[in-house]
Amino acid sequence: MNSTKRIQVRLNGKDRDVTSGHTVQSLLEAIELNPLAVVVELNREILDRNRYSDFDIREGDTIEVVHFVGGG
C-alpha cells in the first residue's frame, strides 16, 4: 500500500471506491467485519477463510460478503 490510488469494485451489489493494495483480509478489517464470521465470494469463487490474505483486491472485482441471518 505505497500510494493512495483508489480502485473501483462491486461490493455486495454496490459500486465502491477502495484503496488499492487491499487483500480480502485487509478489506474486511477496513470495513470492520470479523473475517471468521462471514463467508466471502470473490468473482463467484468462494474463498477459504484461512487464506483471505492470499487474495488481492483488483479493479473491477465483484465481492460478496455473506453471513447467516434468521430464516425458515
Residues that bind another protein (CB under 8 A): 11-14, 31, 33, 37-39, 41, 46-49, 64-72
- Minimum distance, C-beta of residue 7 to another protein, in the bound complex (Å): 17
Closest by CA to 25, choosing from 52, 62, 65, is 52
C-beta of residue 19 within 8 angstroms of C-beta of residue 6? yes
7: left (phi over 0), alpha (psi -120 to 50) or beta: beta
Give the residue with the Cβ less far from another protein, 60 or 70. 70
- Minimum distance, C-beta of residue 46 to another protein, in the bound complex (Å): 5
- Minimum distance, C-beta of residue 43 to another protein, in the bound complex (Å): 13
